[in-house]
Amino acid sequence: MPWIKSHTVLVRHRKVIELARALRIKPVYLLGHLHALWHSALEQQEDGDLSSWSDDMIASAACFDGECSRFVSLLQAHGWLDGRILHDWLDHAGRYLTDRYRTANPEKLQKIFAAHGLKKEESVSSQTKVRPDKMRLDKKQITTAAEPACGAPLAVDLSKIIPKKHKTETKDYSEYRLHIGKYRGVYAANIPHDEAQFLLDRVGNLGQSERAALQWRVDLKKSESQR
């Protein structure tokens, strides 16, 4: 039976609250719409790429009966859809897909993970049950782990997934999303500068562009202090 991972904190997550406010519905109702969409995708489009789905189809899959195009646009604006790809899809469905296809159809698993910028060896080789969202990250202790079970590395090189304009045409890293423990999915601009410095000092497996985004946050604070 297909299944997805769902965090208990989701109903209180900033992105849920902000999107619910934009849709003028309760966060708990949005939670139902998101899970309905994820469940439909896992049954009908398990790679998480909804490029072939119309706005009506996406809204219908989410059991949303409001204006379809506005619903999809807000999903994109609030970070639940990256274009037409379900955001962090492998975080929700990666373990199920890996368990299903690791030995039965590794080629298909490779295609699914490739659609999200990951390589075959990153998606099928890991056997560990430790996930990046379980990595403890505080000023008393940092416990890192080997590659997580779904295949995503602990620190994704964001240069592979961030729009080109943010990695070549400007040094503004404010829209980089981090992939570290409790900061997973958080914009660099929203990280306190002291926490950014702490991450730079204490976490050794940062991707190149992720390190650059954190350094940008630290430097931004220094420039503000000098004004």
Domain boundaries, the chain: 8-87, 156-225
Other beta carbons within 10 angstroms of residue 160's beta carbon come to 12
Helix, coil or strand: residue 96: helix
B/e letters for 114-135, b = 16+ CB within 10 Å, e = fewer, are eebebeeebbbebeeebbbbeb
Q: How far apart are the first and last CA of the chain?
A: 58
The pLDDT value given to residue 26: 95
- 47 closest CA partner among 122, 11, 101: 101
**pTM, entire model:** 0.54
The pLDDT value given to residue 78: 93
Mean pLDDT for each consecutive 10-residue tract of the chain (227 residues)? 89 93 96 96 94 96 96 95 92 90 88 76 40 40 36 40 40 70 73 81 71 82 72
